[in-house]
């Protein structure tokens, strides 16, 4: 059962070939047997999951089921879940139990999906390897001692290892696409504002976006059907009609115009990775698409702009964790200032502290114009590059990552090298565009991801392009050993 997609499991449930209780217990058994070596989960909610599965079976018997009723899945531990601790991978929130559900969490509950638990992540979503989690690093199931990418590495590893058929995730600078690529699964970051951020613990508010992780494009479409839509509780949520993202999956690709940005095919890209990506693009040409070289002239400024804007917003968002209202508090503080300083020093990990310091510096009176304001101007130029490109092409394709998954510890002492792991993904967050990664080959036995970037609200086109590729290839069906 664990080798089936969400779409296949949904059909099995609808036709009575399996019950939700049986399905849920099967995946819980897999988590218990395998997650000790992967550490993809922070919290497993077995009792609640089985209770929800029983309720899902009853709902199906009443005849009011949705495609998700009884389907097991997992939440990245950044989405608030009522009555279940939500840690964001940090000591600061180690024992935080929200009294409410995030909008994404509630929508899956309303659909009848069965949450098996909360997946591991880089602390406060700050990282590219899931090594900064207070609860320990996650292992990529494709290779011993390899990272799964980050920050949504727990979700990616759990899906790749068949511990869950799907998982929610978030993407601030590539945190869905990069781990999806490294773990050989399919992940989608929607247009900024397409998925509500209410109840999603903030890192950088103008960049964060909830999204999907599963094995196939079809499953991602099924997830987005649940997650997308206007939410009046989120001021950045967009009031725009949501299509059925599965409706156009089978449309042919004849006439699809693909743009290849020259700035994404440079010496920073592993040659073997480039070959795999170009082979995938040739497959698209065989499916009827046309390919055109394009330029995104300000792409080389994306990393610099991002690592001013994101830390600045993180500095503001994380100021709420001070030991006063909720979360971790130091023992026996001498006074208020001592409580503030020791709580934050003890509650945050090194990467979070680094970004808070950088962001506070960039926002300070003497440097705001020189750094933060200038970075926002560069952000606008990057966005304009994409707007210009989409006048000539329908989608943009590139590698998702410059190299396959690297060894644990290889880059932890060199933050700049770690930041460069997101060199091909960050621009789309700065521009607010939808983008996804899908498996497109292997290098030395490790997965390679193909990134597809679309115009605003063009998620259906991306999913169609990915689905058609997956009908013609088998990369998304490959599984790690075990």
Q: Work out the mean pLDDT of the chain and round it to a whole number.
A: 97
Among candidate residues 151, 216, 237, 398, the one labeled active-site is 151
Among candidate residues 10, 20, 40, 76, the one labeled active-site is 76
Half-sphere exposure of 120 (CA within 13 A, CB side): 30
Instruction: Note whether 291 and 260 are within 8 A (CB).
Output: yes
Q: What's the pLDDT at 22?
A: 98
Spatial separation of the C-alpha atoms in residues 333 and 319, rounded to whole Å: 18
Q: What's the pLDDT at 365?
A: 87
In what order do the strands lie in the sheet containing 72-76?
Answer: 41-44, 114-119, 72-76, 166-171, 209-214, 186-189, 435-443, 446-454, 395-399, 257-261, 290-294
Residue 467 binned pLDDT confidence (cut-offs 50, 70, 90): very high
Q: CB count, 10 Å around CB of 293? A: 9
With a pLDDT cut of 90, the percent of the chain lying above it is 95
- 21 alpha carbon, distance to own chain's centre: 28
Q: What's the pLDDT at 20?
A: 98
Spatial separation of the C-alpha atoms in residues 317 and 155, rounded to whole Å: 24
**Is the per-residue pLDDT at 416 higher than 90?**
no
Annotated catalytic, 151?
Answer: yes
Helix (H) or strand (E) holding 396: strand 395-399
Among candidate residues 128, 175, 196, 237, the one labeled active-site is 175
Q: What kind of architecture, by CATH, is found in domain 1-482?
A: Alpha-Beta Complex (3.90)
Q: What's the pLDDT at 316?
A: 95
Q: pLDDT of 361-371, one tens digit each?
A: 999 988 999 99
**Is the per-residue pLDDT at 482 higher than 80?**
no
Q: CB count, 10 Å around CB of 296? A: 23
Asked, as a colleague might, if the bond just before 151 is cis with ω within 30 of 0, I would say: yes
Mean pLDDT of 302-309: 96
- Three-state SS at 133: coil
Residue 188 binned pLDDT confidence (cut-offs 50, 70, 90): very high
Annotated catalytic, 216?
Answer: no
Annotated catalytic, 76?
Answer: yes
Spatial separation of the C-alpha atoms in residues 47 and 50, rounded to whole Å: 5
Annotated domain spans of the chain = 1-482
**Is the per-residue pLDDT at 198 higher than 80?**
yes
Q: pLDDT of 129-158, one tens digit each?
A: 999 999 999 999 999 899 999 999 999 999
**Is the per-residue pLDDT at 414 higher than 90?**
no
Instruction: Note whether 300 and 268 are within 8 A (CB).
Output: no
Spatial separation of the C-alpha atoms in residues 368 and 419, rounded to whole Å: 22
Q: pLDDT of 326-352, one tens digit each?
A: 899 999 999 999 999 999 999 999 999
Q: pLDDT of 417-431, one tens digit each?
A: 888 889 999 999 999
């Amino acid at each position: 059962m664990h080798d089936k997609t969400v779409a296949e499991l949904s059909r099995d449930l609808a036709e009575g070939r399996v019950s939700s209780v049986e399905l849920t217990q099967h995946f819980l058994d897999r988590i218990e047997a395998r997650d000790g070596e992967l550490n993809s989960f922070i919290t497993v909610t077995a009792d609640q999951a089985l209770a929800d599965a029983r309720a899902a079976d009853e709902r199906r018997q009443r005849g009011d089921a949705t495609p998700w009723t009884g389907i097991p899945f997992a939440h990245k531990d950044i989405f608030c879940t009522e009555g279940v601790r939500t840690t964001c991978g940090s000591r600061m929130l180690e024992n935080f139990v929200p009294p409410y559900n995030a909008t994404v969490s509630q929508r899956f509950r309303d659909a009848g999906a069965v949450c098996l638990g909360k997946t591991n992540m880089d602390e406060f979503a700050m990282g590219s390897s899931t090594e900064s989690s207070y609860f320990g690093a996650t292992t990529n199931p494709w290779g011993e001692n390899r990272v799964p990418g980050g920050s949504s590495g727990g979700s990616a590893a759990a899906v790749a290892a068949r511990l869950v058929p799907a998982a929610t995730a978030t993407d601030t600078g590539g945190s869905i696409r990069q781990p999806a690529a490294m773990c050989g699964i399919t992940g989608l970051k929607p247009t900024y504002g397409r998925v509500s951020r209410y109840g999603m613990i903030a890192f950088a508010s103008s960049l964060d976006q909830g999204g999907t992780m599963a094995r196939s494009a079809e499953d991602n479409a099924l997830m987005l059907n649940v997650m997308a839509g206007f939410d009046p509780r989120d001021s950045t949520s967009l009031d725009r009609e949501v299509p059925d993202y599965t409706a156009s999956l089978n449309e042919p690709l004849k006439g699809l115009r693909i743009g290849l940005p020259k700035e994404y095919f440079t010496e920073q890209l592993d040659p073997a990775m480039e070959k795999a990506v170009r082979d995938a693009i040739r497959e698209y040409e065989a499916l009827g698409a046309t390919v055109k070289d394009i330029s995104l002239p300000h792409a080389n400024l994306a990393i610099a702009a991002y690592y001013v804007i994101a830390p600045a917003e993180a500095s503001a968002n994380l100021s709420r964790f001070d030991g006063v209202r909720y979360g971790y508090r130091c023992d026996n503080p001498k006074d208020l200032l001592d409580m503030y300083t020791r709580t934050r020093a003890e509650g945050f990990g090194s990467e979070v502290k680094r970004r808070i310091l950088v962001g506070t510096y960039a926002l300070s009176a003497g440097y705001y114009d020189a750094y933060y304001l200038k970075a926002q101007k560069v952000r606008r130029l990057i966005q304009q590059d994409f707007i210009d490109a989409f006048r000539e092409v329908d989608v943009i394709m590139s590698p998702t990552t410059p190299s396959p998954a690297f060894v644990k510890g290889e880059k932890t002492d060199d933050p700049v090298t770690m930041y460069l792991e997101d060199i091909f993904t960050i621009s789309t967050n700065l521009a607010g565009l939808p983008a996804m990664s899908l498996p497109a080959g292997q290098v030395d036995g490790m997965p390679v991801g193909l990134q597809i970037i679309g115009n605003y609200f063009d998620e259906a086109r991306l999913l169609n392009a990915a689905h058609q590729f997956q009908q013609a290839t088998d990369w998304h069906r490959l599984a790690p050993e075990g």
